[in-house]
Amino acid sequence: MLRSVAVLVLDRLAVFEFGVLCEVFGLDRSDDGLPVLDYRVCGVEAGTPVSTSGGVQVIPAHGLDGLAGADLVAVPATGLREYPEEALQALRDAEAAGATLLSVCSGVFVLAAAGLLSGRRVATHWHSADELRARHPDVEVDQDVLFVDEGNLITSAGTAAGIDACLHLVRRELGSAVVNGIARRMVVPPQREGGQRQFIDRPVPECSADSLGPVLDWLLGNLDVEHSVADLAKRAAMSERTFARRFAAETGTSPLRWLTRQRVLHARRLLEDTDLSVDAVASRCGFGSATLLRHHFKQVVGVSPADYRRSFHRV
CB atoms within 10 A of CB 306: 11
Tell me if 147 is assigned to some domain. Answer: yes
Average pLDDT, the chain: 89
Which CATH number characterizes residue 129's domain? 3.40.50.880
pTM: 0.68
Give the pLDDT confidence of 264-295 residue by residue, as tens digits.
Answer: 988 988 998 899 999 999 999 999 899 999 99
- Contact (Cβ atoms closer than 8 angstroms) between residue 39 and residue 191: no
Report the pLDDT value the prediction gives residue 13, as an integer from 0 to 100. 98
Q: Are residues 88 and 111 in the same domain?
A: yes
Residue at which a domain ends, from 141, 176, 199: 199
Question: What span, in angstroms and rounded, lies between the C-alpha atoms of 22 and 81?
Answer: 23
Could you write out the DSSP letters of every residue in 12-72? SB-HHHHHHHHHHHSS--GGGTPPPPEEEEE-SSTT--EEBTTS-EE--SB-GGGGTT-SE
Give the pLDDT confidence of 202-238 residue by residue, as tens digits.
Answer: 555 555 445 687 888 888 889 998 899 999 999 889 9
Q: Are residues 269 and 148 in the same domain?
A: no
Instruction: Give the domain extent around 170.
Output: 4-199
Residue at which a domain ends, from 199, 223, 250: 199
Burial class of residue 315 (count of CB atoms within 10 Å of its CB; 0-12, 13-18, 19+): exposed
Q: How confident is the model at residue 246 (pLDDT cuts 50, 70, 90)?
A: confident
Report the pLDDT value the prediction gives residue 58, as an integer from 0 to 100. 97
Tell me if 205 is assigned to some domain. Answer: no
Give the residue numbers marked as catalytic: 105
Closest CA to 116 of 129, 97, 144, 142: 97
Question: What span, in angstroms and rounded, lies between the C-alpha atoms of 172 and 118?
Answer: 24
Q: Are residues 141 and 38 in the same domain?
A: yes
Q: Are residues 110 and 235 in the same domain?
A: no
Burial class of residue 51 (count of CB atoms within 10 Å of its CB; 0-12, 13-18, 19+): middle
